Amino acid sequence: MTKRLENKVAIVTGGSAGIGAATAVRMAEEGATVVVFGRREEPLKAVVAKISAQGGKAAYKVVDVSDEQTFVDAIDAVAKEYGKLDVMVNNAASYTWGGITEMSTADWHANFTTTVDGTFWGTRKAMQLMQENGGSIVNISSICGTFGTAWMAGYSAAKAAVTNFSRAAASEGALSNIRCNVVIPGVIETEATAGMLSDEKSREGTAKLIPMKRVGTATELANAVLFLASDESSYITGASIPVDGGRSSDLHTAMD
């Protein structure tokens, strides 16, 4: 291991499964002390146990990111316990399905409470804690926020907001050496995408839309987050990096 995050303290929200869990594991492999946030205790315990079994350093906190005070207090507690916060990964998200004409206002708002508000609260608190020593904030958007996805209008709008909010945060944080970047996943094989990849026909249909002709893995996404969290990306801020097998660069297939 190269220990690219040696002596760094990192928080990963939505860390109990999928992209968040893979990110926590990779960061710990590279030397970070990682605290994973999530709403479900048993999966969080499993992630921490996996990291510990590999010789890494990790802990967890049961946190609902949509509850502002609880979330902010949990971030403060991590910084107090470990003496600092170097990396903040805002990965937690919420979404609803449904057509626009049938969508209730409550369902529309449900897409924003965790995805946008949580990203704002996490970024704001991290920036406050990083004023003296700098740090890296990585926010997770989605290809839905780049092109929009039918039946997921609220989620698409929320993820677009995450991307543009992060650009503004990068501009404000730059003078304090606080970097803020965005990773934009395409189709990544996780529990959240299991439904759309449930059989070989569905998987092949999805793969046809991707120039690399396959879906991505959570570890491939986590590697991009790791790079942005590390000092290797020390002159990169305000960037939006797609991790999607080339789909966002292929406008024809992206619009199909």
pLDDT at 254: 46
pLDDT at 81: 98
pLDDT at 207: 62
Backbone CA torsion sign across 111, 113, 115, 120:
positive
Q: Which CATH superfamily is domain 9-255 in?
A: NAD(P)-binding Rossmann-like Domain (3.40.50.720)
Residue with the two structure tokens 């919420």: 94
pLDDT at 75: 98
- Please give the full DSSP string across 79-147, using - where no structure is assigned: HHHHS---EEEE-------B-GGG--HHHHHHTTIIIIIIHHHHHHHHHHHTTTT-EEEEEE--THHHH
- Please give the full DSSP string across 165-187, using - where no structure is assigned: HHHHHHHHHGGGTEEEEEEEE-S
- Catalytic: which of 60, 95, 155, 235? 155
pLDDT at 50: 98
pLDDT at 191: 67
Q: What are phi and psi of 32, to 5 degrees?
A: -75, 150
Parse the chain into domains and list their residue ranges. Answer: 9-255
Residue 227: closest CA among 189, 173, 181? 181
Q: What are 160's strand-pairing partners?
A: none
Average pLDDT per run of 10 along the chain, which is 256 residues long?
Answer: 91 96 98 98 98 98 98 98 98 94 96 97 98 98 91 95 98 98 86 56 60 85 98 98 84 48
Query: In the annotation, is 155 catalytic?
Result: yes
pLDDT at 255: 46
pLDDT at 141: 97
pLDDT at 1: 55
